[in-house]
Amino acid sequence: MNEKEYTTLKDELNSIPVPKEALSYARTNGLKKGQSERRNRKRWTGTFAVTAALILLFITTIRVSPAFAQAVAKIPGFAPLVEMIAYDKGVEDILKNDYYEGLIISETKNNLTFTLLGIIADESGMIINYELDAPFEIHDLDTKGVEIRQNNKDLEAGLTYSWPDKEPTNHIEEIIEVTSNENINYTNPNFELSISFKDEHETTFNIPFTLQKKIAESKYYKLDQTVEIDEQKFTVKSLRISPLRAKLDIAIDPANTMQILQMKSMRLLDEKGEVWGTITNGFTGFGGMRDPEASLFFQSNYFREPKSLTLQINYIQALPKGKDYIEVDFLKKKVLYIPDNVDVNINIDSYDTIRANYKTEEENHFYQMFFQAVDAKGEAVDSNGFSHSNRDGMAESTYTFDISNKTNPIRIYFNSYENYLKGSATVSIPLE
């Protein structure tokens, strides 16, 4: 954020009812710090100090004032910050505890300017905040690929990123989420971000960066507690809490008569009743309910240090084993099997696509009904796409599969269906 953008920020803030004394204090101290540091650093370093001085004020006000949040989101670099705070209390705590590391590293190629704004890094992964600018319209440019390297090797982690669906613009702000199932080793704090875009030049930026902040050590709790709901068992194995996320490892009992599909309501509560729910925006976990073990991600309470912590489990979707799939023949365009315990209408729209229509009682239904599939030889069939819409209690979704060189019929397994086990479970987590 340069000084012109800072002036814009002041004008926006002055037009909104916020705590004036706190804003004045943050602005004044930020400017003093910026002026002091400007003698020895580039100009952007000083103005970034203003940003840091305002962060604590932003966190509280963003939650209570939609008008304030809207104004802050207009300032370059702040939109991802506003969005992250809105849906993840763990990110809010990270900013309050000064765990965000500002970088501001820019590079220009082919009239595109990429700026690595900052990073939140812990043993579970990273959130990388960046912006892209151009003297022309780029809202439909899109990202071609992203890689993170350490020691000249790709980091063994999952990467999620998106492109905002915006009106025409020459300025994009986004995040890249890096998620590792194993702890990332930061003994060498030097990394390189490689990101390419779908412009006519397929421009690629290779941005080396070094992390200076100390990486917080994860808190690990071994549990090995087996719970039973409606005669179905699973084991809560461990909980690992890092600043970015809490990871819960579970194992499903293979002797269960029901196939677990989704655990719709899982949350962590402290002694005051404050809730940390599962991650709903971004990377949600590793593995699935059909795997022997799976990892589920929760919002983090790393910086809270609660006296007690309880896991509550409710609303588990499940279907009887052997009645947890449909079977279709794409060549003959026939639906061969639909379980008698589900209410769904299946149509074959094309040689590789099915359409499902069904009732839903969920106001914000978004789970994919189907996901995994195998052919007649037991070979995995990849999913090529999914679309979904729901209105007035009716949902419609389409699923496209890569059936080239596959043998019909294709068995497609349920990933979600609104049939729930009866009961709930509570697991006490020892914090010492």
The residues facing 126 across adjacent strands are 121, 178
Instruction: Give the pLDDT of residue 10.
Output: 47
Query: Is omega for the bond preceding 409 within 30 degrees of 0, making it cis?
Result: yes
- Specify the pairing of strand 190-197 against strand 204-210: antiparallel
CB–CB of 34/54 below 8 Å?
Answer: no
**3-state percent breakdown (helix, strand, coil) of the chain, nearest 5:** 20, 45, 40
The residue type of 304 is R
Distance CA 184, CA 259 (A): 33
- Residues paired with residue 145 on neighbouring β-strands, in sequence order: 196
**Residue showing tokens 């699935």:** 288
Predicted TM-score (pTM) of the model is: 0.79
Q: Compute the distance between CA of residue 189 and CA of residue 209 in angstroms, rounded to an integer.
A: 8
Angle at which helices 89-96 and 43-64 pack, to 10 degrees? 130
Return the SS3 of 44.
helix
Given this model, what pLDDT does residue 259 score?
Answer: 97
Q: Which H/E stretch holds residue 35?
A: helix 20-38
DSSP 84-117: HHHH-HHHHHHHHTT--EEEEEEEEETTEEEEEE
Q: What is the pLDDT of residue 78?
A: 59
Asked whether the beta carbons of 369 and 358 are under 8 A apart, the reply is yes
What residue type is 249 in one-letter code?
A: D
CA dihedral 227, 228, 234, 238 (to 10 degrees): -10
3-state secondary structure of 6: helix
Give φ, ψ of 198 to 5 degrees.
-95, 45
Q: Would you list the DSSP string of 323-363?
A: SSEEEEETTTTEEEE--TT---EEEEEETTEEEEEEE---T
Q: Any residues with CB less than 8 A from the CB of 91 and at least 6 apart, and which?
A: 84, 85, 120, 127, 244
Closest by Cα among 382, 399, 394 to 347: 399
DSSP state letters, 133-187: E-SS--TT--EEEEEEEETTEE-SSEEEE-----SS-SEEEEEEEEE-SSPPP-S
How close are the terminal C-alpha atoms of the chain, in Å?
A: 44
- Going by C-beta distance under 8 Å and a sequence separation of 6 or more, which residues neighbour residue 7? none
Q: CB count, 10 Å around CB of 53?
A: 19
pLDDT per residue, tens digit, the chain (432 aa), is 444 554 554 455 445 444 443 333 333 344 333 443 333 333 343 334 444 445 555 555 555 455 545 555 555 555 666 677 777 888 888 888 889 898 999 999 999 999 999 999 999 999 999 999 999 999 888 899 999 999 999 999 999 888 776 788 898 889 999 999 889 999 999 999 999 999 999 999 999 999 999 999 999 999 999 999 999 999 999 999 999 999 999 999 999 999 999 998 899 999 999 988 887 666 678 888 999 999 999 999 999 989 999 999 999 999 999 999 999 999 999 999 999 999 999 999 999 999 999 998 876 666 789 989 999 999 999 998 889 888 888 999 999 999 999 999 999 999 999 999 999 999 999 887
**Domains in the chain, CATH or no CATH each:** 99-210 (2.60.40.1630), 219-314+421-430 (2.60.40.4170), 325-414 (2.60.40)
